Amino acid sequence: SILLDDNSTFTGEKTALPNANSVRGFDVIDTIKTQVEAACSGVVSCADILAIVARASVVQLGGPTWTVLLGRRDSTTASLSAGNNNIPSPASNLSALISSFTAHGLSTKDLVALSGGHTIGQARCTTFRARIYNESNIDTSFATSVKSSCPSAGGDNTLSPLDLATPTTFDNKYYTDLGNRKGLLHSDQQLFSGGSTNSQVTTYSANQNTFFTDFAAAMVKMGNISPLTGTSGQ
């Protein structure tokens, strides 16, 4: 549904607050879909393409692989309100994050593993400004370095890597960052802030293979959340 543009029937999810100016690369999926349709019309859904691309991206950047279960069908509608309400905010505390994942059948272990996806990608200044200027559970030199590209006012769309150490490599450095109080988002650092998830962060920081195994399993689990199959969708 994230791929669907607004039409006369519904307002899509691309302009939802967590997605606007954030989710990118729709044109890449369009190109893949066009080529797949030319070779094999009406067989492969965009939903399956997204699931396959997620794995391919992780593998390409040095991460683990997993078996992508296929056979999803595509949604014919999208929901702006669902986009606004169902995606955890970067300002979320640990209990809110756990509740959000639990609501979709994902455990706290899944939450910590899937958050490791933040070992790649970038965030906009507006999503972490409050953390780097107002919070105490943050490495001061890290905060200072990020402030150089994220002023206290303006520059909302300026980007900073979620993992400053190795921003384009899929590894366990995200968890090392958290242990050093260098999580970029408030929601990131909540995973290592004296709560129930501290030990899992420490485990992943010490053992990349354990993180890779758990991340792969959690991706399969997340990919199995209410897929449209049979005669549902198209």
Residue positions in the annotated binding site for Ca(2+)?
A: 1, 13, 119, 163, 166, 171
Cα(232)–Cα(37) distance, integer angstroms: 20
CB 163 within 8 A of CB 119: yes
**Token digits for 168?**
């384009």
Binding site per annotation, positions: 1, 13, 88, 118-119, 163, 166, 171
Binding residues for substrate: 88
Q: What is the three-class DSSP state of 40?
A: coil
Burial class (CB in 10 A: 0-12, 13-18, 19+), 191: buried
Element housing 161 (H / E): strand 159-161
> What are the binding residues for heme b?
118
What is the rounded CA–CA span in Å between residue 41 and residue 175? 42
